[in-house]
Amino acid sequence: MPGYGVRLVRKVSSTRAFARVAPHVIPAFDRAVHRITRGRVLPSALMLPGVILTARGARTGQPRRTPLACMPEEGGGWILVGSNFGRPGHPAWTANLLRHPDAEISWRGRDIAVRARLLEGAERESAWSAVLAFWPPYAGYQARVERRIRLFRLEPVPRDERG
């Protein structure tokens, strides 16, 4: 049973006010602290595990760094949830991964080359169930939007196998 602090964070993170403010405040704060601490600290990871995703922009091809919550998987992969805090459009980083699936993450201070894959069908449904068990507020985000939230599986890739 989660403690009071975790229950409170879950309740606050599922509110519309949080959804309006969080996309502007949390990523900027995460990027700044991550840079200052040379990759050792990611403040939002106190709430959920997190990575800094570096993916090439879908239109520009330029590197884009985005702090993201993730769900680590047994065996070394990660699930990323394109919830956009329950706002209408898909977050830009999801378009970047669709166009350029080879990326890099900073995970617990280590840089790891990864390949992203959009989950669909039964595989997506299974991952979505796991995500909701991991962080129930995602159900509230999905309920607020008409689009289907994108889920990506990131898998480590040896640098010599990157495309």
In total, how many domains does the chain have?
Answer: 1
State the DSSP string of 19-76: HHHHHHHHHHHHHHHHHHTTTS--GGGGTS-EEEEEEE-TTT--EEEEEEEEEE-TTS
* Top-confidence residue, 40 or 49: 49
Angle between helices 16-36 and 4-13 (to 10 degrees): 110
* Top-confidence residue, 149 or 18: 149
- Tell me: the pLDDT tens digits for 90-110? 999 999 999 999 999 999 889
Tell me the whole-structure pTM to 2 decimals: 0.76
Question: The domain spanning residue 9 has which CATH number?
Answer: 2.30.110.10
- Domain encompassing residue 84: 4-161
**Average confidence (pLDDT) over 25-31:** 72
